[in-house]
Amino acid sequence: MAQLTYREAVSLSIAQCMRKDEKVLFLGEDVGAAGGVFKATVGLLEEFGSVRVKDTPISEQAILGAAMGASMVGLKPIAEIMFSDFLAVCWDIVANEIAKTRYMSDGQINLPLVIRTANGAGSKFGAQHSQSLENWSMAVPGLKVVAPSCPSDVIGLMTSSVADADPVIFYEHKSLYPMKEEIKDTNLFINLGEANIMHEGSDACIISLGLMAQRSKEAALILKNKHKIKVSVLDLRTLVPLDLQTIKREVKKSGLVFTVEENPRLCGWGSEISSIIVEQLFSELKGPITRITTPHIPLPSADILEDNTIPTTDLIVEKIIKQLKK
């Protein structure tokens, strides 16, 4: 058994994939000699050398262009975009090239590549370095979307992402990098599209992702211990593919649903989940679906303002108690 932080799990999972398959390579800004800006890739250059671990120029277009080309000729690149906000710089390559090549080639060309990126708020980096952008990639056909909430999920989901024949965007939450977890076995594989029930309950159901999954679990424990309210917490893990079977099962248990997301409220992933539930499970609902989100504003950089913008554990508890009292 080993205790690993979220950032250590990133490095370990990449290393395990590279040891198993010589076709796996890793590239990005400062990922080698510096060990990554968040120190999540320390030791990879020393173990695998500069042929398989590439420090690139500061050009997101070049990083993903090189990764796309490598995957087209049979390699399995893992490419890092330092902040998810920077996906805007290279979104044409992601949405129009990487996502569509398999379809436009009638399946003749697969693109087995993983795009890693640091996502979300909590570090007070301001509006251009703190966004939560899972909903961007969820809206693009041809991409798979992954967002682990703990170190063991980082390992299991990275393993399955690298093994997948399709392009995967792998969102790592910056605020989770210090998180620690005891892991018995690091040889993990979690199927894409397999959600995780983090907490059992029958009074209501919380559907969440990434950092919000951890805050939702904290809220569920407070609700249970202080208010005798039993809430289930469903960590989606992946938005594409989506584990509809588990979502439906959890919704049917209570009929009261809360989505907790860091996306801005307008067109966040929770709106799509809510739409699916209303379309397919309307008769199972006992009340309206409650969405707990970040407001539709650019994220502030002042500590107190950011802390009061993204959903907190206390806000989740407050919203659930308020809804259950109606």
**Percent of the chain whose predicted confidence (pLDDT) is above 90:** 96
CB 205 within 8 A of CB 254: yes
Look at residue 189 and tell me if it is in a domain.
no
| Domain shared by 175 and 276, yes or no | no
| Domain shared by 63 and 204, yes or no | no
Tell me the average pLDDT across 218-241.
98
Model confidence band, residue 212 (pLDDT cutoffs 50, 70, 90): very high
Give the tokens for residue 173: 């939450």
| Domain shared by 109 and 237, yes or no | no
**Percent of the chain whose predicted confidence (pLDDT) is above 70:** 100
Hey, what amino acid is at 274?
S
Look at residue 102 and tell me if it is in a domain.
yes
Burial call 34-59: b when 16+ CB within 10 Å, e when fewer: ebbebebbbebbeebeeebbbebeee
pLDDT of residue 4: 97
| Domain shared by 283 and 260, yes or no | yes
CB 142 within 8 A of CB 240: no
Per-residue pLDDT tens over the stretch 266-307: 999 999 999 999 999 999 999 999 999 999 999 998 989 999
| Domain shared by 99 and 219, yes or no | no
Task: For residue 81, give the H/E element and its range.
Answer: strand 76-83
* Residue numbers annotated as active site: 129
Given a cut of 80, whether residue 308 has pLDDT beyond it is: yes
Q: How many domains does the chain have?
A: 2
What residues form DSSP beta bridges with 144? 168
Per-residue pLDDT tens over the stretch 162-211: 999 999 999 999 999 999 999 999 999 999 999 999 999 999 999 999 99
The residue from 183, 214, 241 where one domain ends is 183
| Domain shared by 146 and 244, yes or no | no
Residue 118, CA atoms < 13 Å, CB-side half-sphere: 25
pLDDT of residue 301: 86
Look at residue 30 and tell me if it is in a domain.
yes
Q: Determine the angle formed by the axes of helices 244-254 and 269-281, rounding to 10 degrees.
A: 70
Task: For residue 234, give the H/E element and its range.
Answer: strand 231-235
How far apart, in whole angstroms, are the C-alpha atoms of residue 229 and residue 239?
Answer: 28
Look at residue 191 and tell me if it is in a domain.
no
| Domain shared by 159 and 55, yes or no | yes
Edge to edge, what strands does the sheet with 144-146 contain?
A: 53-55, 24-28, 76-83, 114-119, 168-173, 144-146, 238-240
| Domain shared by 79 and 139, yes or no | yes
H helices then E strands: how many in the chain? 12, 14
How far apart, in whole angstroms, are the C-alpha atoms of residue 139 and residue 238?
Answer: 13
CB 199 within 8 A of CB 221: yes
Given a cut of 90, whether residue 2 has pLDDT beyond it is: no
Cβ partners under 8 Å of residue 58, min gap 6 = 29
CB 238 within 8 A of CB 193: yes
- The overall average pLDDT reported for the chain is 96
List the CATH number of the domain containing 69: 3.40.50.970
Look at residue 211 and tell me if it is in a domain.
yes
Look at residue 200 and tell me if it is in a domain.
yes
pLDDT of residue 105: 96
Given a cut of 90, whether residue 22 has pLDDT beyond it is: yes
| Domain shared by 157 and 210, yes or no | no
CB 223 within 8 A of CB 197: no
Give the tokens for residue 273: 């989940």
Query: Domain span at residue 113?
Result: 2-183
| Domain shared by 151 and 208, yes or no | no
Per-residue pLDDT tens over the stretch 90-146: 999 999 999 999 999 999 999 999 999 999 998 889 999 999 999 999 999 999 999
The residue from 183, 216, 233 where one domain ends is 183
| Domain shared by 155 and 44, yes or no | yes
